[in-house]
Amino acid sequence: MGRADPILSVRGLSTAFSGDRGNVTVLDDVSFEVGRGQIVGLVGESGSGKSMTALSLMGLVPQPQGRVSAREILLDGVDLARLDGAGMRRIRGGEMAMVFQEPMTSLNPVRKVWEQVGEPLAIHQGLGRREIRARVLEMFELVGIPEPKSRLDAYPHQLSGGLRQRAMIAMGLICEPKLLIADEPTTALDVTTQAQILQLMRDLRDRVGTSIIMITHDLGVIAEMCDVVNVMYAGQIVEQADVFDLFERPAHPYTRGLLASIPRANEPRAGRRMPSIPGMVPNLAKLPPGCRFAPRCGDAMPLCTRAPELAALGAGRSARCWLHAPDAAQPLEEMP
C-alpha cells in the first residue's frame, strides 16, 4: 500500500495492556504505509483500535501497563520502534505531530494559546519568546484564524470550538512535521465548521506537503479526504484499498456493512429502518475463535473458525477474509 516512497512504514505493530485479569492485546499485527503527501484513513467503529494505533505510533501509550512492539515503524528511514523515551521526545512534535479529537481537553486552560501553540518551537528549535510569538502569528494566519493578532493572548475558553481546533492544527504544523496524525479532528463541531476544518487540512497538505493520517468513524470524511483507506475491526486491519476502490468494490463484509449504513439523501426514509451491522465489536479480552467479525457476518462459513490473514487481492488492495480463499463456499449455518 502507499506510494513507492513512503514517509511512514508500519510493520507488525501490536499493543497490549496488563491488568488484574491478565494481558489484553488491543492492536494485533497492524501494518500499513503512508506515502509522501498522502492522506491515509483509519476507519472503523469505536473500539476498533484507531486511536490506539495513533497513540502507539506517537509513543504515548501509558507505561508500564501498556507494551508496544513492532517489527519496524520507519518514519523517513528512522525506526521509531528502536527509539527510547528520549529519542521519541525528539521526534514527537517535530518530525511527527498529532491533533487530538477534543481541543478543549488538550489545551491547558490557564495558559495563553500562543504559548501552547509555540511550545514545540522552544523544545525542538530552541527559539525565544519573541521569535515564537511571531511564528505563531504566521501559523494563525495560515490556518485561517480571523483577527489572529488579537487571538494570541486569548485563553482556550475564549475561543470557539472551531478556533480551538484550528489552534491545535497550528500547533501540530508549527515545526513543519513530516507526518500529522489527526484523530477525529471534526468531532463535536457543527457541519459548517467541520467542512472548513477539512478544507483547511487539504489546503495545508497541498501547501506544506505534510502527510496526514486521518482517523475517523465517518465514511463521508474518508471519501472526501483520503487517498488510501485502512478499515479496522477489533484491533486488526481487515481491508486496505485505494479510496475509490473501497467505495466501488468493498472486499470485506465489514466494509460493506459500514458503507450500507451511510444515509443517502435520495432514498425514502418514512417507515424504513436505517441499515446497520448486527451485534457489537467484541470484547478484546474475550475474542471469538477465528475471524473476529464472523459472529456479526452474514457471509460466515465453517472456514471462519480459523483466523484469516490479511491477503493481497491485487491492484494494491488486501482483505482479511476467507471469502477470497478458493475453498470458501459453505455458509456457517449449513455446517453439519
User: 178-222, pLDDT tens digit by residue?
Assistant: 999 999 888 777 888 888 888 888 888 888 889 999 999 889 899
What band does 83 get if pLDDT is binned at 50, 70 and 90?
very high
Q: Comparing 40-44, 105-109, 249-253, 301-305, which segment has the lowest mean pLDDT?
A: 105-109
* pLDDT for position 95: 92
* pLDDT for position 326: 60
Look at residue 63 and tell me whether its pLDDT is greater than 80: yes
Share of the chain above pLDDT 90, in %: 66
* pLDDT for position 19: 79
What is the spatial order of strands in the sheet that 317-319 belongs to? 96-99, 179-183, 211-216, 39-43, 228-233, 236-242, 317-319, 311-314
Look at residue 228 and tell me whether its pLDDT is greater than 60: yes
* pLDDT for position 270: 53
pLDDT digit string, tens, across residues 205-214: 888 889 999 9
Neighbour-count burial of 207, counting CB atoms closer than 10 A to its CB (0-12 exposed, 13-18 middle, 19+ buried): exposed
* pLDDT for position 267: 60
* pLDDT for position 265: 62
Average pLDDT over residues 98-118: 88
Q: How, if at all, do strands 6-19 and 66-69 pair?
A: antiparallel
CA 83 to chain centre: 22
Look at residue 3 and tell me whether its pLDDT is greater than 60: no
Average pLDDT over residues 93-102: 88
Q: Which amino acid is at 95?
A: E
Average predicted confidence (pLDDT) for the chain: 89
pLDDT digit string, tens, across residues 140-192: 998 889 999 999 999 999 999 889 989 999 999 899 899 999 998 887 778 88
CA 9 to chain centre: 14
